[in-house]
Amino acid sequence: MTDTPTETAAEASAQAPAAPRANVAFAIEIGPLSAVVGDLPTVVAEFSLSLVALFYPMTLAKKANVVVTELVQNIVENVAEPTSDGAIKLAIDERDLVISVSNIANEEAYAKVRAKIAALGTPAEAKKLLAATIRERRPQRLKGGLGLIRLVAENRFTLSCDHKDGRLTVTARYPLEG
């Protein structure tokens, strides 16, 4: 035992020389989504948080947590095709953090998501949209409608989506600084 104060992990990390940025990636495939009986968004999001925090600052791990939560929640809550599987991918390298979530969806569902993403604009514009959407939906406590906006307004991700072979994929990308 010693009386010398011990530095916290955060302080030690701040004083340490910059470590090379790690490549971290995982992919999960599950299905059918209609068979999920537990809290899938929480399980995958908390895994993402813990994994990213092993290599990167907690601020980035928290971003991964939010994005995985909201995107996985979207596919679980909006299952149009009960037999659809779900695919969740996360990858970080020295350039960016990329998270994508895909499921089977028709053209109509794709068009809706594409329109939502197109309406988000810049983070500043998305922030105004977030405030307006909260004001509009709060009186009825309407569920949904905030997740994608939040990813841009709050976490400064760039969102995109595509539709290939009947699968809708939503991708969130965050550039790493420096």
Residues 101/75, Cβ–Cβ less than 8 Å: yes
Determine whether 42 is exposed, middle or buried from the number of CB atoms within 10 Å of its CB (0-12, 13-18, 19+).
middle
Least separation in angstroms between CB 166 and another protein: 27
Q: What are the start-end ranges of the E strands in the chain?
A: 24-30, 86-92, 96-104, 158-164, 167-175
Residues 82-121 that bind another protein (CB under 8 A): none
Q: Point out which span in 20-28, 29-37, 111-119, 136-144 binds another protein (CB under 8 A).
A: 136-144
Give the span between the Cα atoms of 75 and 152, in whole angstroms: 18
Q: Quick one: how far is CA 74 from the chain centroid?
A: 11
**What residues from 11 to 30 belong to the interface with another protein (CB under 8 A)?**
none
Stretch that binds another protein, among 12-20, 25-33, 39-47, 89-97 (CB under 8 A): 39-47
Binding residues vs another protein (CB under 8 A): 10, 39, 41-42, 58-59, 62-63, 65-66, 69-70, 73, 77, 127, 130-131, 134, 138, 141, 143-144, 146-147, 150, 153-156
